[in-house]
Structure 1
Amino acid sequence: MVFRAPEQAVEETKPRSAPVFVSKPEPCNVPEGEWARFCCRVTGHPKPRVMWLINGNTIVNGSRYKLTYDGMYHLDIPKTRQYDTGKIEVIARSSAGEALAITELRVVPRHDDYRGVLKNAPRPWYDETTQFQRSETELEKTFEERQ
C-alpha cells in the first residue's frame, strides 16, 4: 500500500473528446398556448456548453423559455405562440469541438383566436363619421375660444 502526500495527488485525466449528441431533440407539433418541450443528451470532455436557438435567435432562460439540465438538456416553452413555429437548433460547444442538432416546432393556430382577423378588418363607417364630427366640434370650440 502506497500513501502519497496531498500535494502529490494524481488527477485522472480523461481523453479530450468533441461533443456528440447521444439523443437529439424530436420534432414537435402543439396547439398555440400549449407546452412544448425539447430534450437532448450530449457527451464530451470537457463538458460542452449547450445553446438553444429558435429561428436563429438565441434563447435566454426567463419567463418565455425555460432552460434546464438534469443529465439531459431541456428547452421548455410553457405557452407557445405562432411566432415560435420554425427551426429549433441546439449547439453543443467545448474546446474540443462542436456539434449541432436541428429539429422543427410547429405551433397550430387556435381557431377561437380572432386577433389576426380583427387587426386587418376595415374600420366601421360609423366610427369614421363619429371621429369626423368630434374633430369639427373641437375646431369650433378652438375658434370660439380665440374670438
Structure 2
Amino acid sequence: MWKKPKTAESTTNRRCFSLVHQYIQRFNEVSGSKSAVIRRRSETPGVMITQYVLDIPEGKSTPDFESKPIPVSIKEGQVASFKVVVKGDPKPEVSWRRAKGPITDKNKFQSKYDESSGEHIFEIVKVSGEETDTYKCYAANEYGKAVCTTTLNVIEASKNPSDFRKLLRRR
C-alpha cells in the first residue's frame, strides 16, 4: 500500500481540518495571508462556528455557546424570553436576528446581559402571532463567530369561551 511520506514541513505548524482547508492554508502560506474561513461544529449540538484566522494565539479562542436558547411556545400577550451563555476570548458580542423580519422596535425586542449568571437574554414583550418565527443568535469576536437557532411559536388566545368549546367538539 502506498503511503505519503511525512516531511518536516507537513507536520510542523500545520493543523489539517480537511482537504479544502489544507488547500486554503497552503494558498495563505504562499500569498502571505493569515486569514481564512474555517467552518466547524461546536461541542454543543446545533451550533456552527466560523473561524476567521488560521492560527489563534495561545489563550485566545473563537466564540462558542455553553448553552443555547430553548424553543418557546407561549400564549399571545405574554413575554417570550431566550437565554444563552457564550464563551470566548476576547469576550464575544451577542446579537439576534429573525428570519422573516427586522428586529428594530426597541420597545418590543430587548437584549439584556445578566452579570451574575453570565446569560445574554433576548425578550419579546407582548408577543403576537406576527413574532412567530425562527430566531438566530450570533456570538462574534475577532477570531470568529458562532451561530445557533431557535423558534418562537405564539399560541393565539381565544377571546370567547364558547369558541374554545366548539374547537374541542370538532376534535
For Structure 1 versus Structure 2, the TM-score category normalised by the shorter chain is 0.5 to 0.7
* Structure 2 gap segments, 5+ residues each: 1-56, 161-171
1:62 matched to 2:106? The reply is yes
For residues 145 and 131 of structure 2, what CA distance do their matches in structure 1 show? Answer: 25
Match of 2:131 among 77, 84, 90: 84
Higher helix share: 1
Matched, 1:28 2:75: no
CA–CA separation in structure 1 for the residues paired with 2:95 and 2:141: 11
Paired residues, number: 101
TM-score, normalization: structure 1?
0.63
Q: What does the per-residue CA deviation read over 1:48-106, in whole Å, with 9 as the maximum and x for residues that have no partner?
A: 11111122545357211111001210001120011110101100011111100101100
Residue 53 of structure 1 corresponds to 97
85-94 or 104-113, which moves further after superposition?
Answer: 104-113
The answer on 1:72 being equivalent to 2:119 is yes
Aligned pair partner of 1:94 in 116, 138, 141: 141
Gaps of 5+ in 1: 1-12, 114-147
Q: 2:151 and 2:132 mapped to 1: Cα distance? A: 8
What secondary structure does 2:107 align onto?
coil
- Name which one, 1 or 2, has greater alpha-carbon Rg: 1
Q: What value does the CA root-mean-square deviation take over the aligned residues? A: 1.9
CA deviation digits over 1:94-138, x for unaligned, max 9?
Answer: 11111001011000112128xxxxxxxxxxxxxxxxxxxxxxxxx
Other-structure match for 2:61: 17
State, as a whole percentage, how many aligned pairs show the same letter: 31
Please give the TM-score of this superposition, normalised by the length of structure 2. Answer: 0.55
- The whole-number CA distance in structure 1 between the counterparts of 2:157 and 2:127 is 11
